[in-house]
Amino acid sequence: MNKILGMILIAVGLVGLVWGGFSYTTRDKVADIGPIDITRNKTHSVPLPPIIGAVALVGGIVLLMSGKGGMSATR
């Protein structure tokens, strides 16, 4: 579980540092007149401050490194 969370944090940290965030597009229905549907695409931006990207990156690396330690759950 720590490895997966560590990889996700590293990916989020890299996105935050390299691109400064991410954006996604939603489709909103404007009108529905009989067989005609009118929609519009709206782009949303989610900015990530560089400090959050750096903290996520370091946290992910720490989680990955701690998973390689000597503590084992099996006996």
Please check the confidence at residue 1 and state whether its pLDDT lies above 70. yes
Q: Which helix (H) or strand (E) holds 25?
A: strand 21-33
- H-type helices in the chain, by residue range? 2-18, 50-67
Look up the pTM and report it: 0.58
Query: What's the confidence (pLDDT) of residue 21?
Result: 76
Task: List the chain domain ranges.
Answer: 2-67
Write out pLDDT tens, residues 41-64. 999 998 878 899 899 999 999 998
Query: What's the confidence (pLDDT) of residue 39?
Result: 93
Write out pLDDT tens, residues 6-29. 999 999 888 888 888 778 999 999
* Gap between the Cα atoms of 31 and 18, Å rounded: 39
